Structure 1
Amino acid sequence: MSKKSISIKTEKRKAAEGEQGQTPGNIKVYGSAVLFSFIVGFSFIGVKTCVSIATPLETLTYRFNFAFLAALVVVLFGVVKINLKEKPRIKLALTAGFYVGFMILQTIGLLFATSIESGILFAIIPILAKIIAGFFLKESTSWKQNIFVCLSVAAVILMFVLGSTDLTVNLIGLVILFLASIFMAISNVMMRYVRKIYQPFEITFFITAGGCILFNLAMILFGLKNGTLGSYFDPLTHSDFILATLYLGIPSTLISAMLMAYMLAHMEAVKATIFGNLSTAISIVAGVIVLGEPLEFYHILCTVLIIIGVVGLSMPSMAKKEGEL
C-alpha cells in the first residue's frame, strides 16, 4: 500500500472520528452537551414561576419575544452574520418549523394530559430520533449503544412513574404529546441533516423568529376573541415573570437551541438527543437545591442510571461510523 493511500485513509478516519466527537478537540462538543442539559434542567423553575402569574400562551409568547430580541440584537450589532445566499431555505424552514411545532403541540397537549404523561412521552424522544435518523440519515448504533439508550429512557420513565400519586390517562393528550415528541425528534434529525449548509446560529435565529411570530399571532387572535387584547402587557408588571421569561427566552430557548444545533453538527442524532434525558436528572437536583423539594431514593437511583446511559452511549469505544451497518 502506498504512502498516499495510507494518508488518505488516515484523513478519512480522523474526519469520521471528529464528526462523532471522539477527538480531544471535540471535548467542547460534550462540554456544550452538558451545558445544554444544565440550562434545560433548570428551566422548569422558570416555568413554575411563570405559570403562577400568566397563562401558558403568555409565557410562550414572552419567552420567544425575549429569545428573538436577543438574537436580533446579536445580528444587528454584527456579532454573528446570517448568510442565506444560494441556500435551500425550505430545509431551514422545515427545521425551525418542526421545533416550533413541538412547542405548540407540547402546550396544547399539557392542557389535556399531566406533566407525568408528558415526561414519559418526552423521554422516548431519543428512541424516536434514533429510528428517524436511521431511516433518513442512515445512522446506526451497536447493540451496546442501544442498551444504554434504553437504560436512560427507562430510568426517566421510572422516575416519573414512581413520583406519581395518581396515574391517569387522557387519550387526546397522549396523542398530542406523542406527536410533539415526533416533531422534536424530526427537528433534531433535520438539524443534523442541514449541518453542512447552515450554521447553528442561523438555525436558531429562524427558530426564535418563527416562534415569536406564531405565538404573538396566537396571542392577538386569542385577545380579540376574548376581549383581553388590552391585557397583553399585564404579565410585565411582575418582576418575577420578567426574570423567569428572560431565562426561558435567552438561555433556555436561544442558547439551548444553538447548543443543540452545534451538538448535532458534531455527533449522531441519538447521542445529542439523549442529553435531553440528562436534563431531567438535573431538574431533580435543581428542585432539591433551589426549591427545597424532597429527595427520594428512587431519584438518586434513576439519576445514576440516566448518567450511566448517557456516558455509556458517549463512550468512544462504542462509536460506529455514520452509515455503518
Structure 2
Amino acid sequence: MINKKKSMPIFAGMAYALLFGLTFMFISIALRYTSPFLLLSIRFSIAFIVMSILVIFKILKVNFKNKNLLPLILVGFMQPILYFALETYALKSIPSSIAGTISSLIPISVALSSAYFLKEKPTKAQYGFILTSIVGVIIIVIFGATDSGSGSLVGILLLIGAILSQTAFTILSRKFSVRYTPTETTYFMMGIGGFVFTIIAFIECLIKGDLTAFITPFLHKEFIFTIIFLSIFASIMGFFLINYTLSKMEAARVAVFENLCTIVSIIAGVVFLGENFRVYHVIGAILIILGVWGTNRFTASNHKIIEEKAIDNTIREKNRD
C-alpha cells in the first residue's frame, strides 16, 4: 500500500510528461491550419465542454460552493492563459525540439522558487540530480543551436516568458492543492482558458472579417486528429495528472518531470516531423533520465509531513461522495 502511494504520483508525472512532450509536435501541426489564439480557443473550449458533460453525468465531481475562486483565477491566468499564449506564438518561429529543450529549464526555476515560497527545500542530492538533468538539456540546446540554428530570438524570449508563467503555476497549484481537488482545479482551468481565448479569437476574426475561421480548420482530417489530442489528452488528462501530482509531492520533484518532455518532444520531432537526431540527443537524454530518477529517489526524510497532507486531501475528496 505504501509503495503504491509513493509510486502513483511518479507514474502520473511520467504520464503527463509523455502527453506534454507530444504537445509541441501537435501544436506545430495544428498551426498549419489556424492562428494561435483560434487554436487555443478551440482546444480549451472543447476540453471544457467534454469535462462539463462528465460533470453533468456525475462521472467527475466538482464543488465550488462557498469557495473563494480568486486563487483559481490566479492559477488559470498563469496556466493556461499566459503560458499557452506565449508558448504557441513561440512555436511559430522555433522548432518543436528546441522548444522542448528550453522548456526543460523549468525544474531549476521551480526548485529555487519552491524553496523560497513553499519552504520545500530539495536535499543536496536532489539539487545535484536536478543540475544533472539541466546539464543534459544544455548539451542538447548548445549542440542543437550549432547544428541547426537556435531559431528566432523573439521565439526564445517568448518561451522564457512561458517558463516563468509555468513556474508560477506550479507553485500556486501546489500551494492551493489543500483547498481544491485536482479535478476542480483542472475544470476551472479549462473553463477560464476556453472563455478568455475564445473572446480574443473572436475579436481577431472580427478584425479580419472572417468568422468562418472557427470552422474551416475542421475541414482537414489532420487538424481534427491534432485537436482531439490537444483537447482531451493533453488538456484534460495532462492537466489533471499534473494537478494530481502536485497534490501528492513537492513542487521541485514534480517539475523535474518536465525534462522528460524534452526526450518525448525530440523523439516526436524526429519520427513525425523529420527533425534531426544526433548523438548529443542520446547523451542529453541519458543525463535527463538520470536526473529525474535521482530527484525522486533521494528525498528528504521530513517529506512525511507532505505525504500526510496528501492523504488528508485524498480523504477530503472521498468525503465529497
TM-score band, normalised by shorter chain = 0.7 to 0.9
Which stretch of structure 1 is more off in the superposition, 225-234 or 196-205? 225-234
Matching residue within 109, 119, 123 for 2:104: 123
Counterparts in 2 of 1:177 and 1:46: CA distance versus 1, 3 Å:
closer
User: TM-score by structure 1 length?
Assistant: 0.85
What is the match of residue 165 of structure 2?
183
Distance 1:59 1:184, change over 3 A: same
Q: Tell me, yes or no, if the aligned pair for 1:140 and 1:323 is still in contact at 8 Å.
A: no
2 CA distance for matches of 1:142 and 1:155? 20
Partner residue in 1 for 2:59: 79
Shift of 1:293: 5.0
Following superposition, the deviation at residue 203 of structure 1 comes to 0.4
- Per-residue CA shift, 1:71-107, capped at 9, x if unaligned? 1111111111211123221111111221122112223
5 Å-filtered alignment, 1:155-234, equals 155-164=136-145, 165-167=148-150, 170=153, 173-234=155-216
TM-score by length of 2: 0.86
What is the match of residue 267 of structure 1?
249
Q: Is the 8 A contact 1:119 1:157 kept in 2?
A: no
Contact 1:58 1:219 in 2 (8 A): yes
**Structure 1: which 5+ residue stretches go unaligned?**
1-17
Q: CA deviation at 1:120?
A: 5.0
1:136 counterpart residue number: 117
Contact 1:123–1:157 (CA<8 Å) still a contact in 2? no
Distance 2:155 2:28 in 1: 20
Alignment of 1:90 with 2:73, yes or no, is no
Do the aligned partners of residues 319 and 135 (structure 1) sit closer, same or farther apart at CA in structure 2, a change above 3 Å counting?
same
- CA RMSD for the aligned pairs? 2.4
Change (3 A) 1:105 1:41: closer
**Distance in 2 between residues matched to 1:149 and 1:132, nearest whole Å:** 14
Give the whole-Å Cα distance in 2 for the aligned partners of 1:295 and 1:121: 17
Check the 8 A contact 2:37/2:197 in 1, yes or no. Answer: yes
CA contact (8 A) 2:102 2:159 kept: yes
3-state SS in 2 of match to 1:83:
coil
How much does 1:176 deviate?
3.6
Matched residue type, 1:228? D
Runs of 4 or more, structure 1, over 6 Å off, are: none
Q: Could you say which structure has the larger radius of gyration?
A: 1
SS for the counterpart of 1:74 is: helix
Corresponding residue pairs, total: 302
Aligned residue for 1:11? none
State the percentage of identical aligned residues: 27
Q: Which amino acid aligns with 1:166?
A: G
